[in-house]
Structure 1
Amino acid sequence: MRTRLAARADPLWDLMLAVHMIRGQPGDLLHSGWRRQAVAALRRGGMSGRLGLLSALVPTLGYFPDFLNPPEAATGLAHGLEAIRSTPIRTLTRELARLDVKATARADVRLLASGDPRALAVLTDGISAFHAAAIAPHQRELDKAVNADLTARAAALAENGVEGLFGSLHPMATWSAGELRIPGHPHQVIELRGRGLTLVPSAFCVRHPMTLFDEGLPPVLVYPVAPATGALAPGNTGLHALIGTTRAAVLDAIGTGCGTTELAARAGVAPASASEHAAVLRAAGLITSHRDRNRMLHRLTGMGRALLEGP
């Protein structure tokens, strides 16, 4: 009964996952255009020296500290940064001890673990600089992608309740016998114990939904959102000329997989039109579709991804 959708993307979850993305991740072909622009912006700003501590805390794969994603960030980046600066020393010490950092960063991480205000300021200044250069210029399109996804999730919730909402996450999550299972997620069991679950959309989440490490924190599930056309994907004008702008948008909107209703919301077309375009793309071998109860679910094929990636 306490399951809910976040009203918007979480700026700090987006940022930490964008740090992953700036280095490249398996299955992130749709983010290559964003990566080129973000790297160029970071270089123009001469920010390499300001991001060392942030980079050390967020490795390419694996654990990164929960204190980097405080619940206060749901109300805005400034509130999230203030919460990071106010993290208790015992929390910093415990969570940073789990990290395996490079020798060059160990002194800075030890200083941060002690609660040193200067180290906390360096960290939050780096987060602000990264956000301004790599995320803020794309915020409008990112919001468009998230809002389209939330519209589809809300429709699933309204039509079929929480079970329908969880069902809309298939195939990246499956709901059965009172458990929400995440295929491919590192083994972790989180008992809600009446606390509820908040679903948080993120256009920078690619491989599978993610959770916080500490089971005692408010439970969240950060899940992938397909980028809106032009948001993170490279501008592939050749593809538009080949199959048409609307059909290219439908192909792009499928992203990590979705149902027809969600596809229509993401691409900004009517459900009947989305179904027709999906049929054409499926016949061309660019997507696959299979029925899950009363939903038709679509996924990109290798050839579909290759076309979206472009030259």
Structure 2
Amino acid sequence: MQHGSLPPAPTPSAADPATGTPAAPAAKAPAEKAQQSLYGGVTSRRVTVRDLAGAKRRGERWPMLTAYDAPTAAIFDEAGIPVLLVGDSAGNCHLGYENTVPVTMDEMVMMSASVVRGTKRALIVADLPFGSYQESPQQALHNAVRLMKEAGVGAVKLEGGERSAAATELMVQAGVPVMAHLGLTPQSVHAFGGYPVQGRGDEAAHQLLRDAKTAEAAGAFALVLEAVPAELAAQVTASLHIPTVGIGAGAGCDAQVLVWTDMAGLTGGRVPSFVKQYADLRSTLGDAARAFSADVIGAAFPAEEHTFH
């Protein structure tokens, strides 16, 4: 899979007539820099996998967030987030399931279509949920095509390296951009017996590195590394030509992703230790609900300005 051509060679600068030496190249205009940059640039179209490949070559780091509905996705799109993941993490934080396993294809199509409709710029990546690709590569392609045709996403994500290589290769050959996911793969929660850190120990580290290179060879355009020791994630990142997206994998990855309800403090109870909360929306919404209730009980709402005559 081609992930974007190399940038053109620079045009030789004109020689200084006084010295005969080449003049310094002209600085890029701010608009050109902004257009090239992944975060805050690419404003006239959607971000593509070629843009992510270019960011990898430039060493540019970029953010990714999950999104499951149009209003939230629109906020993140307007904030400049270049890639939004419609994750099956919706099972835990949006649909009320205990884990990601129960999430269905119909639910993923519905949520993905909503996120696409709410955005104009971000590349929208949708998860293939548990049971939608494990049966065969043909099953994976069928369901990936559903997400692209019915929801309008720009790419799909699936878990696994070597075990998903055939499915990845078939989808890529058919024109479906594929993001891989290694390390802690939440769809395997029952096999793992929980959510332990992955890749510890020489054998596990070597297997993860093999999986990463296999996913790249199969045509994946990017790779999520979840709950992986930082040193191993940095090694994987340095060994690949495609960008890595870390979540609990240290600062050595090319990009970072968080589940938005964790990031914004909407999740109740304990959140993973690798999460940084940037807001406290749970308290904000609770306070708003209590204030509304008090106004209704005390007959302060609706007031005259909220009333029709």
TM-score in same-fold range (> 0.5): no
Q: TM-score, normalised by structure 1?
A: 0.23
The structure where helix makes up a greater share of residues is 1
Q: TM-score, normalised by structure 2?
A: 0.24
Larger Rg: 2
